[in-house]
Amino acid sequence: MSQQVTLDLLIQRFFDYALKNIRFILFIAVLGLIHIINNHLAHSLITDINKKANQLKELRWDYLTIKSDLMYRSKLTEVLPRAEEMGLHKMTTAPSKLTIKQKDYQRQD
């Protein structure tokens, strides 16, 4: 019986102490909740940043691939055969310079 009384007394003291300090206990619980939410948001942000970094790497590789392909296709040795297929030929004569004399030129405003 004495053990039961001491156990009941300890339980009663614990609840009295908890009721006296309920504000502090709730404050600690709210701080814990804020900490959990903050960690979750930080983890989500880090995951998003890593995904964007990987997408940026892929897009950069695509850009470099397309750029090198364009540089290769714009070389004269690549353009000439395709131009001849369309009926265009390489010029054999030098281009001529056009000159307009001042008296022939009339400005129209």
Q: Is residue 19 situated within a structural domain?
A: yes
Contacts of 79 (CB under 8 A, 6+ apart): 73
Number of domains in the chain: 1
Contacts of 80 (CB under 8 A, 6+ apart): 90
Of residues 45 and 106, the one with the higher pLDDT is 45
Output the DSSP codes for 62-95: HHHHHHHHHHHHTSHHHHHHHHHHTT-----SPP
Q: Is residue 105 situated within a structural domain?
A: no
Q: Is residue 6 situated within a structural domain?
A: yes
Question: What domain range is 9 assigned to?
Answer: 2-86
Q: Is residue 67 situated within a structural domain?
A: yes
Q: Is residue 92 situated within a structural domain?
A: no
Q: How far apart are CA 62 and CA 44, in angstroms?
A: 27
Write out pLDDT tens, residues 49-101.
Answer: 999 999 999 999 999 999 999 999 989 888 888 888 888 888 888 988 888 77
Q: Is residue 50 situated within a structural domain?
A: yes
Q: Is residue 102 situated within a structural domain?
A: no
Q: What is the mean pLDDT of the chain?
A: 89
Angle at 68 between CA 66 and CA 72, to 5 degrees: 115
